[in-house]
Amino acid sequence: MSTPVLADDLGLCLCHGCGLACELGKDHTCPRCGAPLHRRKANAINRGWAFLLAALVFYVPANLLPVMHTEMLGSGSDSTIGGGVLEFWEAGAWDIALIIFIASVGVPAIKFFSLGLLLFTAQRRSSWAQRQRSQLYRGVELIGYWSMLDVIVVALVAALVQLRGLGTIEPRPGILFFGMVVVLTMFSAMSFDPRLIWDHPGNDGGRTDGASE
C-alpha cells in the first residue's frame, strides 16, 4: 500500500470547525470559519489520561451508591445499577436486562479499555494495527453517549412515580457519579487526537521523507 500525501508534509491542517483544508500560516485560525487551528490537539495524551482516570475513579461510587430510592406502600428500598439489571433478569425480562447491562456496564467497560489502549499505544508511538486502532476510535466516538441511558431512565421514572401515599421514586447520588463517568469519558475521547495513531510510520508502507510524491 502506498502512503498517501500527508497534510502535515504540505503545511496543511484540517479545520475542526468546518472541515476546510487550511494552510498553517502565522495566525492559527481558519480563514473560513474563524476556528483556531492546531496541527494536533494540544496535550492530547495527557488530557486523555486525566479525563479517563477521573472517570475510572467516579465509576466506583457510580456502582456502589444507590441510583434511586423506591417508596412503595410504606416500605422503602434503595437500588443500585447492578441491582436494576438483576431485578429484570430475575423477573424473566432478559432482553431488557441485557439492554441495561450493555448500556451501563458493557459500554463503560469497553470505553475504559479502548481509550486506555489507544492512549497507551499512542504514547508508546506504536505502529501496531494502525488501521484497526483508527476504527476502534471511531467506535468509541459512536457508542460514547449511550451510557446516558441509565441517567435518563432514572430521571423519567422518578418524575413519573410521584403518587403521594401510594408510591414515590427519588433519584440518589449514584446517578450523579454515573453521569459524570459518561461526561468524562466523552471528554477523554474528544481530547484524544486520532491522527497521533498514524504519526509514526510503521512497517506497512514506511514513508520516507521526500518520496511521498
Q: Give yes or no for residue 210 binding other proteins (CB under 8 A).
A: no
Cα separation, 81 vs 67, in Å, equals 7
* DSSP codes of every residue in 74-100: TEEEEE-HHHHHHHHHHTT-HHHHHHH
Among residues 38, 41, 195, 200, the one that binds other proteins under rule CB under 8 A: 195
* Contact flags string 96-135 toward other proteins, x per CB under 8 A: x--xx-----------------------------xx--xx
Least separation, in Å, of the C-beta of 119 and other proteins?
Answer: 16
48 binds other proteins (CB under 8 A): no
Q: What are phi and psi of 33, to 5 degrees?
A: -115, -5
Tell me which of 124, 138, 139, 206 binds other proteins, using CB under 8 A.
Answer: 138
Q: Residue 152 is inside which H or E element, if any?
A: helix 148-160
In angstroms, give the least distance from the CB of 2 to other proteins.
9
Contact 128, 202 (CB under 8 A): yes
User: Residue 56 or 129: which CB sits closer to other proteins?
Assistant: 129
Among 151, 185, 191, 192, binds other proteins (CB under 8 A): 151
Fill in the amino acid letter for 1: M
Residue 161 contacts residue 167 (beta carbons within 8 Å): yes
Draw the binding track, 14-33, toward other proteins (x: CB under 8 A; -: no contact): x-xxxxxxxx-------xxx
Instruction: Report in angstroms how near the CB of residue 95 gets to other proteins at its nearest.
Output: 9
Contact between 158 and other proteins per CB under 8 A: yes
Phi, psi of 93 (to 5 degrees): -85, 70
The 164-193 contact track toward other proteins, x by CB under 8 A, reads: -xxx--xxxx-xx--xx--x--x---x---
Distances (CA, A) of 133 to 40, 138, 139, 197: 17, 9, 10, 7
